[in-house]
Amino acid sequence: MDTTTLERFSLNGSEDVVRVRLAVRTWMRANGFTLLQQTKMVTATSEMTRNCVTHGGGGSAELQQLRDGERLGLRLRVADQGPGIADLPLALQGGHSTTGCLGLGLSGSKQLVDDFEITAEPGKGTQVHITQWR
Amino acid sequence: MPTTPQQSIDQIFTHHEPAILEGWMCEQVAALTSRQDLMSTAALRTQSQAFLALFTLACRDGGLVDITGTPWAPVLDFLADLSSQRAKLGFTPSETATFVFSLKQPVFARVREELGADVGTLVDDLWGMNVLLDKLGLYTMELYLKSRETVIKHQQLDMLELSTPVLNLWQDILAVPLIGTLDSSRMQAVMENLLGAIAKQGSPIAIVDITGVSAVDTEVAQHLLKTAAAARLMGAQCIISGISAPIAQTMVALGVPFGSVDTRATLADALAQAFAQTHRQVVVMEPQAY
């Protein structure tokens, strides 16, 4: 599988969330992803980058193009140096929030994209990879 | 008599200003061919000429090393105006920086012609000039970025103001069309405007249309749910319209509990629903012969 880095972002505020989202949508539209695939990936991107900004204290994101034979995919990697997640299985169940929001971002995003990987050990920051295939 | 870099640079600028200006114009025009829509060559020439005059004076009085002194103030002011003007006109950062950096080539060429034989002075002069122009170029960039930030901040404020009007769609029916990117501060403004209008007019129905919203994530969804709940507390019913098929599927996958809120696919559907609930009927008239 070939991986090419498309763009890197630093995430510090909600305007950065919008920037990454826009880059995701623009690239997917140009590469023939369906409107549904775009909307799902854009929404998951929004959740992950916003988590990074609100809960992780900011971090960085990277967009990668994946090519596996005929298949074309887009992967977003988001990383922060924040507190991590104390109870990851609980956070992934959905409907659980420590900060008064809906608590659906993680669990929901997992449903939205094709691949979802997360590591979030307490004290070691959070790293999320989400991938949407065409 | 050996000359200092400053003296020889002075002489070069004083004696060859027209030639340097010509060379500089060529460089700039070549670099900005695509931007003649933003600025005419004549205007660029006037600007370049004015800068060279100030620059020559500052070199003579202020030396080539320290650009923070009083003699350099007019040059820095000039560059400040230039960068904010270019930021507003829509020049890119490199196009803006080109103004100063493209001066290097004609100046260096002239210095080489004048001092070609004297290698020691030549190197000193070129180095001094290079450092000086780099400083001015960086100064220009810094100010350019500052002006851009100001422009962006103003635009954000404008957007906030513009994007949250509450419309009186019909008697008893309010509507808020949402467009673009929704963040917490905008949603807060929407909620306040809408609840204010409900209180003032006693409208029983408010339609929030999200057709123009680029992405609905859980944060936006939560704001919409809160707005609907607050409206309900005030005795008004909130209908959220403009939910496209991809957004509907995304919301279901996210698990957002929209079940408690009235939603419609289009604004027209929402209006029909609002008419029905306020006991109104839309009647299609028979065509009349005139």
For B14-39, write each residue's pLDDT tens digit.
Answer: 888 888 888 888 888 887 765 777 78
Predicted complex ipTM exceeds 0.90: no
Which of left, alpha, beta for A35 (phi over 0: left; psi -120 to 50: alpha)?
A: alpha
Digit-coded pLDDT (tens) for B167-199:
999 999 999 998 877 777 778 888 888 999 999
* Better-predicted residue by pLDDT, A98 or B145: B145
Q: A105 to chain B, minimum CA–CA distance in Å?
A: 6
> For the stretch B189-213, what's the b/e string if a residue is b when 16 or more beta carbons lie within 10 angstroms of its beta carbon?
ebbeebbebbeeeebbbbbbbbeeb
Q: B18 to chain A, minimum CA–CA distance in Å?
A: 45
B216/A50 Cβ within 8 A: no
Among A48, A104, A107, the strongest candidate for a mutation testing the B interface, having the largest count of B CBs within 10 A, is: A104
Smallest CA-to-CA distance from B241 within B204, B283, B213 is with B213
DSSP state of B233: H
Interchain CB contacts (distance < 8 Å): A and B: 67
Q: Which residue has the tokens 């960039």?
A: B141
Q: Which residue has the tokens 């979802």?
A: A116
Q: How confident is the model at residue B160 (pLDDT cuts 50, 70, 90)?
A: low
Residues B148 and B195 in one domain: no
Return the number of other C-beta atoms located less than 10 Å from residue A59's C-beta: 23
Q: How confident is the model at residue B1 (pLDDT cuts 50, 70, 90)?
A: very low
Residue A14: per-residue pLDDT: 81
Residue B30: per-residue pLDDT: 83
Residues B115 and B231 in one domain: no
Whether the pLDDT of residue A67 is over 60: the answer is yes
Give the domain CATH number at B112.
1.10.490
A101-116 average pLDDT score: 86
Residues B123 and B181 in one domain: no
Angle between helices B218-233 and B245-254 (to 10 degrees): 90
B171 burial via Cβ count (<10 Å: 0-12, 13-18, 19+)? exposed
Q: How many domains does chain B have?
A: 2
- B182 within some domain: yes
Confirm or reject contact between B259 and chain A (CB < 8 A). Answer: no
Cα A114 to Cα A129: distance, rounded to the nearest angstrom:
11
A120 three-state secondary structure: coil
- B103 within some domain: yes
Which of left, alpha, beta for B285 (phi over 0: left; psi -120 to 50: alpha)?
A: beta
Q: How many domains does chain A have?
A: 1
Instruction: Supply the range of the domain harboring residue B144.
Output: 5-158
Residues B140 and B211 in one domain: no
Confirm or reject contact between B26 and chain A (CB < 8 A). Answer: no
Residues B82 and B176 in one domain: no
Among B151, B218, B223, B226, the strongest candidate for a mutation testing the A interface, having the largest count of A CBs within 10 A, is: B218
Residue B170: per-residue pLDDT: 92
| Chain A CB contacts of B261 below 8 Å | none
B139, B158, B177 - which closes a domain = B158
| Chain A CB contacts of B222 below 8 Å | 101-102
